[in-house]
Structure 1
Amino acid sequence: MKTKPNRGKGYTAGNSCITEVVIDNKPTKLLLDPGAFCSCVVNKVSPVSLELEKFKSEQLNEAEISLHLSDKKEIELSALLYYHKEAFASDKEPLGAIIGHEVDIILNIERPYPPLLRRPAYPASPKSREYLEIDIKELLELGVIRKVGHNEEVEITTPVRVVWHNGKSGMVWYFRALNTYTVPDRY
């Protein structure tokens, strides 16, 4: 940032409260308090990335960032998340459906599968069932799960339990039995 003409600092005194500065080769007016005498220093101005601000408002609006981070660290964290934004789910590539990163589960057993892989649903309270239906509807809309037709045979089922934390519900999928019969991958 530099003043116009090229001096390196901008001064104002008396009743004048607007000075013109150049930031990234663009003239910009800077408003100062009337009667103030000050200088504008380059290292106190950070460029604002409109894309980063859009990412923060759209993608990080529900994120809870630690209050113990300094402003500088919070900005660095936001920039890091923005830089790696393709690692996260989006509207076009929802959770569990990242294009190019599909997962094939290979079992180490053949049909017929053991009864351990065909578990009945856990009982749920009416309150838990209500939230379970909301979560299932969301997963269906995201394409993470699909409905099974009435004549479609399902050989492997996984029970789900609803857990509560701080008044919020969450589903816990019981994959221990399935993991027992899954061929491990490199991850």
Structure 2
Amino acid sequence: MTCTKKIRTTVATAECDNECLDVQVGEPKGKDTQEPEEFEIALQLANWDQTLPNSDKQDIINLVSKYPMVFAHGSQQLGEVTTEEFDIKLTAPDGQHPPRLQKKAYPASPQKHKDIEANIEELLSLGVIEQVDRTPKDAIVSPVLIQYQNGKATLCGGLEL
């Protein structure tokens, strides 16, 4: 699978599934942190590799401090990078498209409904997801509710082509 993300300035290359991934990344323009004290505390509590030279550690701290809006560091925080242009190209082997996934809705307990609604509201408020009128026919979306042993649940998943 090949994924290409085109934005503006810096270019980085990485290997992914034996294919090259070219990523052009612009300047982060995320929201400024609303909790600067928590950000500073998170930097102080970071678990640094003992073999990392102090100069490299300071370079990392300077970079992270320059763009705090990109890193999650406090309660209800989510790192964010907004861009003017965002192109992603996904290709499957031999040019095939994945089949459309369809599964009938199945019942969930009232507690699971509450967990799902709470997760959706949180993701909406953080700007991770947005409400749409309907899903396009060629989109693939697979929501999954993960139930932890401590009783908490997390909603995850989703892919659109």
Q: Scaled by the length of structure 2, what TM-score is found?
A: 0.43
Q: Which has the higher contact order (CA 8 A, sep 6+)?
A: 2
Q: Scaled by the length of structure 1, what TM-score is found?
A: 0.39
Question: Computing the radius of gyration over CA atoms, which structure comes out larger, 1 or 2?
Answer: 1
